[in-house]
Structure 1
Amino acid sequence: MDSSELKVGDKIYIMKAEHPPRQYSSQILDILNEKEYVIAGPIRRSTIIHVELNSVIVVNYYKERIGKFVFRALVKEVWEKGIYKLKVERLNEIVKIQDRNYFRLPISLEVEKEYNAEQVYDIENGNDIETEKEICITGDISGGGLKLFSNIKHRERDKIRINFIIKDVEVSTIGEVIRVSKAKNNAYKYKYEIGVKFLDIDNYERDAIVKYIFEQERELRKKRIDFNDY
């Protein structure tokens, strides 16, 4: 099986034609064939979000270390009694959105960074060892990682633990440094900026980040989604 393909239990997000556009969490409940899926119906704050029969929705999902994927689907059946679910048929090929096209949200968040230069692997394994701690500031954030301003000159492939709060959700995860450069034009007087890729982030924590980013993205764009673009 292609590692980018959907599997039963995968978290997905769906959007229907509405203004302003909203994104709803869902899940793959069953895979009927290569184009048809049974998915969980969207629910917001314990309220069913009605999806019209024969309407077209946009489905997107994220595969760790691979990327974000999107396709359009036709709603063929709707069951609202018992478990709320939809039967959908994929209308086009699954499109991968390249990493450079991910929406990275410029934002300044305070992040506690932990690092141990001698035994980096112990951080990853969660052992109780002494670590060098530093309060950093983010330059931007996405569902796959973030940019940090730091006074420590890390090396690429360094493993660090990062802890921060986004929209009342505490995030604590291991990250890998993938880029290091001298800081440019940052108001916080840090020496370096580092690109960090999330390695073992909890799905709940990633969902909180993605949800926040999409909320901010909608506020920034303020325009209707053209479903034919997917």
Structure 2
Amino acid sequence: MLSDYISPGNRVELKATGKIWMDEDARTKHIYMSKVMDVTSDDRIEILMPFEKGKVVLLPVDGEYSLCFYSTRGLFQCYARIIDRYRSDNMYILVLDLISELQKLQRREYYRFSCALELKSRLCSKEELEAFERNRKYLVDADFGLQRSVVVDISGGGLRFVANFKYDEGSTIYCSYRLPGNANDKEYEMICTVLKVSELESRPGLYEHRIQYVYIDETSREDIIHFIFEEERKIRKKQT
């Protein structure tokens, strides 16, 4: 059932497909962000009408869109057609019928994007790990004993960093970093497992770590994936 994968509150990206407007109309190529309000059946959903610069974007009835859902179970994609739009309690709602099967997007979630970011990390205490397992964010002292290193690639599932120190494989660590261009200067915090550690052949004394997020809030994961999408688009735009 659709509701097994998509839930109210999930973020969703919309991109127009086909000749909805004239080619020179910026709305045709624009990607809009919205939120799922309701899953009314296995092939029908309701979402908030997109807002940009404080104004509602009136997407046309019968317009067809590619949708990408940021679900707690991963990223999912399908195509849908707007069949109605209405106002309820000062909210503008779009009603869409799915016109293709829902597919999971593995590539997007785990696509690794090369970058250079400062990473702060330290070993995680037993008390902290137990707190995160209970879905309670608890850090003894987030800044105590932090070591600095350099992230060389990130994804929605983990990252790779290089440091002049090394953790043991299998250890659990607290990590934090900031994404460039983030207007809120948000610090992304997560608990991770060290999957693999290896010394760089070309740089003795430097160690490459591959780590996987164990506990990360979904909003942070969505922000990271969205950052990767945007950077990927900028690169493609420069290449064309």
- Equivalent residue number for residue 94 of structure 1: 102
Which amino acid counterpart does residue 163 of structure 1 have in structure 2?
A: S
SS of the residue aligned with 2:234?
helix
CA contact (8 A) 1:175 1:196 kept: no
Q: In 1, distance between residues paired with 2:139 and 2:164?
A: 25
Q: In 2, distance between residues paired with 1:86 and 1:123?
A: 41
Question: Identical aligned pairs, as a percentage?
Answer: 22
- 1:1-230 mapped onto 2 (5 Å cutoff): 5-17=5-17, 21-64=29-72, 66-79=73-86, 82-99=90-107, 102-116=110-124, 119-122=125-128, 125=131, 126-128=138-140, 132-166=145-179, 167-168=182-183, 169-184=185-200, 191-222=206-237
User: Post-superposition shift, 1:74?
Assistant: 0.8
SS of the residue aligned with 2:69?
strand
User: Post-superposition shift, 1:139?
Assistant: 1.0
Q: How many residues align?
A: 219
Name which of structure 1's ranges 19-28 and 69-78 shifts more when overlaid on structure 2: 19-28
How high is the TM-score relative to the length of structure 2?
0.76
Q: In 2, distance between residues paired with 1:67 and 1:99?
A: 11
SS of the residue aligned with 1:109?
strand
Which amino acid counterpart does residue 192 of structure 1 have in structure 2?
A: Y
CA contact (8 A) 2:199 2:207 kept: yes
Q: In 2, distance between residues paired with 1:80 and 1:185?
A: 62
Deviations 1:122-165 (A, max 9, x none): 35632426954210111111233222223343344422211222
How high is the TM-score relative to the length of structure 1?
0.79
Q: In 1, distance between residues paired with 2:108 and 2:15?
A: 22
CA contact (8 A) 1:58 1:73 kept: yes
User: Post-superposition shift, 1:101?
Assistant: 7.2
Name which of structure 1's ranges 106-115 and 202-211 shifts more when overlaid on structure 2: 202-211
CA contact (8 A) 1:120 1:160 kept: no
Bigger RCO of structures 1 and 2 (CA < 8 A, at least 6 apart) = 1
SS of the residue aligned with 2:233?
helix
What residue ranges of structure 2 are gaps of 5+ in the alignment?
18-25, 132-137
SS of the residue aligned with 1:108?
strand
Deviations 1:14-63 (A, max 9, x none): 22246784432211111111010001111123122231211111111234
Root-mean-square deviation (CA), in Å?
A: 3.1
Deviations 1:156-194 (A, max 9, x none): 44222112221243223223225213254888x762222
What residue ranges of structure 1 are gaps of 5+ in the alignment?
224-230
- Equivalent residue number for residue 227 of structure 1: none
- Equivalent residue number for residue 135 of structure 2: none
SS of the residue aligned with 2:111?
coil
User: Post-superposition shift, 1:198?
Assistant: 2.6
User: Post-superposition shift, 1:72?
Assistant: 0.8
Q: 1:183 to 1:75 in 2, by over 3 A?
A: farther
Q: In 1, distance between residues paired with 2:205 and 2:3?
A: 39
